[in-house]
Amino acid sequence: MPEDLAGIVTEAVADSAAEWDLAGEIPVDLLRGLGGKGLLCPEVETGFGGLGLTGRECGRLTAHVGSLCSSLRSVMTSQGMGAWTIRRLGDRAQREQYLRRLTDGELVAVAFSEPDAGSDLSAMSTGIGEDGDSLVVDGVKTWITASAYADLVVVFGRYGDGGAAVIVPATAPGVRIDPVPAPLGCRAAGHATVTLDAVRVPRENLLGAAGNSLAMLTTIALTYGRLSVAWGCVGILRACLDAATEHARSREQAGVPIARHQLVARHLADLYVAERTATLVCEDASRCWDAGSPDQVSRAVLAKYVASRAAAQGAARAVQVLASAAAREGGVVARAYRDAKLMEIIEGSTEICQLVLADRAMGVGR
Amino acid sequence: MPESASERLSAAGIEHRLHEFLVERTKTEWEPGQDLFASGVVSSLFAMELVVFVEKAFDVVVEREDLAMDNFRTISAMTDLVLRLRKAADA
């Protein structure tokens, strides 16, 4: 990861992460500023105005952002996943138009989940219909990360016998975006319910084509999302490790720094192991992604599974080490504790990941 | 063109590589016309692995209307897809 990119994000976040967490909002101009530098979807090729980072470089930058603020990292995951979806499912003209907009300050959210379609995305009921030169989109999408900030929403839905995605401007008539009040974690990530009531968009906003498989399209998009979330969890662990070691060095009890107490030392060791393990599994998955290996699909699930569990457990350990010093809303470890738990839920819950990994182990499924 | 690349262009060569990958990955034997998804044991996640494999192994890009399950349903269907995409690329 080029150092100056990390530095730009560090400078932009400064000491604001706690304030954003408490307010439940990141200033949208700051997001547009980072987006306009290409930092929110860093893998977009330079030919489309992007930074052209490799998957591994993007991952390391994502971890850095995640170490500072998981809400901002969540926005980055959405932007990257939206750009990747357009890159992968779009045609030349769509790539040219939209990837430029996404590296020029516009923000995008990607909408999969619905009230009755979470782990089972095949139960999705949002419909993409046709009417002359228009597409008509109807449905309700829940917990859509970054949609409260988004200019564009990439909406997945049923299209003919299969599935497709469609690019919907957030300002199109019939679109309503209702922020989720006080989410458990990633409080400033702009989670919202997106309601689409007979929303008409031009036919050229369609991503994918007749006959596409909804399951295949969502897997393509989610593989990027899983890698990004996994790297974000590496960041959470780094922030927790830094906070815990710093505290264990400076806080004295019974006449010695608490790091000298063996039960505290065990927490520190486990945190270190968690950070290293998550890093290595993410590096491996991104290597598969960069190499175009078919293993990228299951390794992304593996990385997300390992890193999100490690982050949830690691954040809980960090709280334990910091004790009362962590029990303040907005603080780095308090945020990590809440944010990490959500990472075990989104982009494929821990249990769904386990089923996928069991299938992978069996070769042909169970 | 190197020998390995020209081999890829023949239907038999494509079928052979697909078969090899499938057997290695699924630990199961597959006939050229056998439906990979009908059994229910091959997941949609695996369908994306097949897309990535086909792209990498045969130097083609699978996009737009070609991202359909039917193109990946059997070894024969994938072979046809690769031949068609190779022909389009060479044209």
Residue A226: strand, helix, or coil: helix
Q: What's the pLDDT at B90?
A: 81
How many CA atoms, within 13 angstroms, populate the side-chain half-sphere of residue A214? 23
Q: What's the pLDDT at B37?
A: 86
Q: Which residue range is the domain that position A36 belongs to?
A: 3-107
A97-A102-A108 Cα angle (round to 5): 110
Q: What's the pLDDT at A2?
A: 64
Look-up of token digits 């046709």: A130
Q: What's the pLDDT at B1?
A: 43
Q: What's the pLDDT at A1?
A: 57
CATH number at residue A219: 1.20.140.10
Mutate to test the interface with A, among B25, B36, B44 (most CBs of A within 10 A): B44
Which one of A162, A297, A364 has the shortest CB-CB distance to B49?
A: A297
In this prediction, the residues of chain A whose per-residue pLDDT falls under 50 are none
Q: List CB contacts (< 8 A) between A212 and chain B.
A: 65, 67-68
- If 0-12 CB within 10 Å is exposed, 13-18 middle and 19+ buried, where does residue A96 land? middle
Tell me, what's the ipTM?
Answer: 0.90
Q: What's the pLDDT at B3?
A: 46
Please give the Cα distance from A35 to A38 (Å, whole number): 5
CB A204 within 8 A of CB A163: no
CB A309 within 8 A of CB A234: no
* pTM for this predicted structure: 0.96
The reply to whether A318 and A354 lie within a common domain is: yes
The whole-angstrom distance between residue B8's C-alpha and the CA centroid of its chain comes to 11
Smallest CA-to-CA distance from A208 within A87, A296, A127, A117 is with A87
Are B42 and A213 in contact (CB < 8 Å)? no
Which residues face A139 on adjacent strands?
A196
The reply to whether A120 and A178 lie within a common domain is: yes
The reply to whether A125 and A197 lie within a common domain is: yes
> Does the CB of B1 have a partner CB in chain A at under 8 Å?
no
Smallest CA-to-CA distance from A62 within A53, A300, A48 is with A53
* Amino acid present at A352: I
- Got the DSSP string for A253-317? ETTEEGGGSHHHHHHHHHHHHHHHHHHHHHHHHHHHHHHT-TTHHHHHHHHHHHHHHHHHHHHHH
Residues of chain A by 3-state class (helix, strand, coil), percent to 5: 55, 15, 25
Torsion (CA) A339, A342, A346, A349 in degrees, nearest 10: 140
> Does the CB of B43 have a partner CB in chain A at under 8 Å?
yes
Residue of B nearest to A289 (CA): B52
Are A216 and B65 in contact (CB < 8 Å)? no
Looking at A107, A122, A152, the residue that finishes a domain is A107
The reply to whether A221 and A346 lie within a common domain is: yes
Are A365 and B40 in contact (CB < 8 Å)? yes
In this prediction, the residues of chain B whose per-residue pLDDT falls under 50 are 1-3, 6-8
The reply to whether A334 and A231 lie within a common domain is: yes
List pLDDT tens digits, range A27-49: 999 999 999 999 999 999 999 99
CB A244 within 8 A of CB A271: yes
CATH number at residue A30: 1.10.540.10
Q: Which residue segments constitute the domains of chain B, with CATH numbers given?
A: 3-90 (1.10.1200.10)
The reply to whether A145 and A77 lie within a common domain is: no
A96-A102-A108 Cα angle (round to 5): 120
Looking at A107, A135, A155, the residue that finishes a domain is A107
The reply to whether A201 and A274 lie within a common domain is: no
Mutate to test the interface with B, among A219, A287, A305 (most CBs of B within 10 A): A219
Residue of A nearest to B58 (CA): A292
The reply to whether A236 and A187 lie within a common domain is: no
List pLDDT tens digits, range A45-90: 999 999 999 999 999 999 999 999 999 999 999 999 999 999 999 9
Radius of gyration over alpha carbons of chain A, in Å?
20
The reply to whether A191 and A321 lie within a common domain is: no
Please give the Cα distance from A363 to A126 (Å, whole number): 33
The reply to whether A35 and A170 lie within a common domain is: no
Q: List CB contacts (< 8 A) between B51 and chain A.
A: 216, 220
Residue A327: strand, helix, or coil: coil
CATH number at residue A119: 2.40.110.10
Please enumerate residues of A whose Cβ is less than 8 A from a Cβ of B: 88-89, 91, 162, 208-213, 215-217, 219-220, 223, 292-298, 301, 356, 359, 362-366
The reply to whether A195 and A315 lie within a common domain is: no
Q: What's the pLDDT at B41?
A: 62
Residue of B nearest to A357 (CA): B45
Backbone angles phi, psi at A27, to 5 degrees: -55, 125
Q: Total structural domains in chain A?
A: 3
B48 CA to chain A: closest CA distance, Å? 6
The reply to whether A53 and A80 lie within a common domain is: yes
Looking at A176, A207, A238, the residue that finishes a domain is A207
Please give the Cα distance from A340 to A37 (Å, whole number): 27
List pLDDT tens digits, range A106-119: 999 999 999 999 98
